[in-house]
């Protein structure tokens, strides 16, 4: 439901000043306040395996952050989205995170990563649209409920035009600049 500009600003101001309870993280996504508990060990293992492969197999100078707040494009009638991906990957901009504020613009981000946890529909649909609106070239989703990994790419008009999916245990081809088959065996 669309909100008037005054309500949008109030919601954004309230969110920015929020004192998030210990053990949780807070996001503002498409006008909805989302509070999620910290993830479990399998969630973190998936992220760790992906990051290891990105560093080892891509041959790129990469930066990774597991807690980088991103300010993404607005959706009509909602305040600006404030999203914390499970992983933010930057290739080719070695100082993008240096000196960045807690909530930074997404320009220069190469790929974001999410592993489903407490509310998988947010990762599958809502965050996918947010990342596409932000122009982030690639969104990698590890969906533990469907036992699959999906790469969304080519953002356009608020969504991604391309997607490729692989069942856990099968490789998922990552495009340039990574250009290798992501091994998903450890996600089983």
In the prediction, which pLDDT does 33 show? 82
**Cis amide leading into 177 (omega within 30):** yes
Sorted by where each starts, the structural domains of the chain and their CATH numbers stand as 40-72+81-187 (3.90.1570.10)
Rounded-to-integer distance, Cα 185 and Cα 71, Å: 33
In angstroms, the CA 173 to CA 151 distance is 8
Q: Cα torsion for 56, 104, 15, 114, to the nearest 10°? A: -20
pTM of the predicted model as reported, rounded to 2 decimal places: 0.85
Q: Digits of tens for pLDDT over the chain (188 positions)?
A: 567 887 788 888 887 888 888 877 888 888 888 888 888 889 999 999 999 999 999 999 999 999 899 998 766 666 789 999 999 999 987 789 999 999 999 999 999 999 998 889 999 999 999 999 999 999 999 999 999 999 999 999 999 999 999 999 999 999 999 999 999 999 98
Quick one: pLDDT at residue 75?
63
* pLDDT, position 1: 54
Residue 54 contacts residue 140 (beta carbons within 8 Å): no
Q: Residue 152, exposed/middle/buried by CB under 10 A (0-12, 13-18, 19+)?
A: buried
Q: What is the pLDDT of residue 142?
A: 98
Coil, strand or helix at 14: helix
Tens of pLDDT, residue by residue over 111-125, are: 999 999 888 999 999
Give pLDDT, residue 77: 63
Rg (the chain; Cα; Å): 16
Distance CA 60, CA 32 (A): 36
105: left (phi over 0), alpha (psi -120 to 50) or beta: beta
> What pLDDT does residue 176 have?
94
Where helices occur in 59-180 by DSSP H, the ranges are 120-121, 127-133
* Contact of 27 with 34, CB cutoff 8 Å: yes
């Amino acid at each position: 439901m669309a909100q008037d500009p005054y309500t949008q600003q109030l919601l954004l101001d309230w969110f920015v000043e929020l004192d998030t309870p210990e053990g949780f993280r807070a996001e503002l996504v498409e006008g909805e306040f989302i509070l999620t508990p910290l993830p479990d060990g399998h969630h973190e293992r998936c992220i760790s395996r992906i990051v290891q492969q990105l560093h080892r197999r891509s041959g790129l100078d990469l930066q990774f952050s597991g807690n980088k707040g991103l300010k993404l494009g607005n959706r009509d009638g909602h305040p600006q989205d404030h999203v914390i991906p499970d992983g933010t990957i930057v290739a080719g901009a070695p100082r993008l995170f240096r000196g960045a504020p807690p909530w930074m613009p997404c320009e220069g981000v190469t790929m974001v990563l999410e592993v489903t946890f407490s509310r998988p529909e947010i990762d599958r649909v809502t965050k996918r649209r947010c990342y596409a609106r932000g122009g982030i070239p690639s969104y990698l989703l590890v969906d533990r409920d469907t036992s699959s990994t999906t790469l969304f790419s080519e953002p356009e008009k608020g969504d991604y035009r391309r997607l490729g999916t692989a069942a856990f245990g099968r490789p998922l081809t990552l495009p340039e600049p990574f250009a290798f088959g992501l091994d998903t065996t450890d996600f089983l």
